[in-house]
Amino acid sequence: MAGGTQKDFSRVKPILDVLGGNVVHVGGPGLGHTVKVINQLKDLKLATALAAEAMANLPHLASTHERYEKLVVDGDGELDHSAIHKLLWS
């Protein structure tokens, strides 16, 4: 996942192809980071569900999950990468 102008992406794509198997242009500058954060949040949701199912005691993960759920309840689940800032400092 890479963000940037189409011109810049086209220029560096051959290098990115060597570094990664599936390189996708996701939009303008900064959007690569945003998509990465969204994927990490989905992984967090899966991890908390699996931990709960296994009855694992993961207090830090539970705390992070509670904060993420609060973002969603507050209507901020659709924020861009600024949601992470809000999540960490709320």
Average the pLDDT over each of 13-22, 69-78, 79-88 and give the range with the smallest value.
79-88
Name the residue ranges covered by the structural domains of the chain: 2-89
Using a 10 angstrom Cβ sphere, with 0-12 exposed, 13-18 middle and 19 or more buried, the burial of residue 67 is: middle
Q: What is the pTM of this model?
A: 0.50
Q: What's the rounded mean pLDDT across residues 28-53?
A: 79
Position 82 pLDDT exceeds 80: no
Q: Where are the beta strands (DSSP E) in 12-63?
A: 25-27
Position 48 pLDDT exceeds 60: yes
